[in-house]
Amino acid sequence: MRKGNTNRNTNKSTNRTTKKVISAILAIVLLVCVILMIFHAVRRKQEEAVYENMRETAVSAERAEPETTEAAGSTEAADSTETAANTYEGLPEVDFQTLKETNTDICAWICIPGTQVNYPVLRREEAQNPYDDYYLQHTVEKAAGLPGAIYMEPCNAADFCDANTVLYGHNMKNGTMFGSLHEFENDAFFDAHEDVYVVTPEKTFVYRIYAAVTYSDLHIMGSYDFDSAADLERFADSLKEGRSMTDLFREELEVTAQDKLLTLSTCIKGEDDKRFLVVAVLTDEVLADEN
């Protein structure tokens, strides 16, 4: 009997020790998870502070009246847009010299009035791969990890002269980066917000939003030859293929082979095989102020 009691006591002691070890491990894992969550939250706040500092020091909504060029894009889009620069509400003026002190890969600034999209656009100059996605996982300060940056692949020209320029950004939960693009899934929001501004050192491009659609994860720049008018039209047609009830179009606009497009691409939560696209048509080009 004593031997049996001893074994039971030993087993109880072993079980208690095992439970304590498991509890300690779980506590450590929980602590590590909390620390990582805090670390990422702090880091994202710091990164957003970097962008906010850029907006305060290098971007101004107070813009003089620069010279304008002839409106570009489809006749329908151009006719529906005022070409005088001072008629565009929220058109920013950007100090690229200051921006490039942070990163020389900054080639433009994108702003969509009424959304959180108000960021520098990066293009990796030193990349050898035309489809380089370095800034998918690197911030504007070249730190690895989220939230990345708004960027174009090197296959697109930094001066936005291509028939279709594709910009990428993460769908962040707090709406930063390209997270707020999903607001264009709402009919009323889509109707009320029409313009996208892209400022480069040489020009400001004004685009009219044409479509907001759920699309496949097809690599757009690698799948179409946008030097070909036929492929531009093929891409435009693909936006309406398998059109769902949630896809929205500005029906008064008609994309033609003469148009230049801006395609904004971001992820869709829980659907890794799909992307959400906001596609806009170039309607005007504004020359940079002469110093």
31-83: per-residue pLDDT in tens? 776 665 665 555 566 667 889 999 999 998 755 444 444 445 544 444 444 44
Q: Which pLDDT score is estimated for 201?
A: 96
Task: Kindly indicate the confidence band of residue 17, based on its pLDDT and cuts at 50, 70 and 90.
Answer: confident
Task: Kindly indicate the confidence band of residue 133, based on its pLDDT and cuts at 50, 70 and 90.
Answer: very high
197: its two tokens: 């501004």
pLDDT digits 0-9 by tens, 191-242: 999 999 999 999 999 999 999 999 999 999 999 999 999 999 999 999 999 7
Q: Which pLDDT score is estimated for 41?
A: 56
Q: Is the pLDDT of residue 3 over 60?
A: no
| Architecture in CATH of 46-287 | Beta Barrel (2.40)
Task: Kindly indicate the confidence band of residue 30, based on its pLDDT and cuts at 50, 70 and 90.
Answer: confident
Q: Which pLDDT score is estimated for 37?
A: 60
pLDDT digits 0-9 by tens, 240-251: 997 888 899 999
Domain ranges of the chain: 46-287
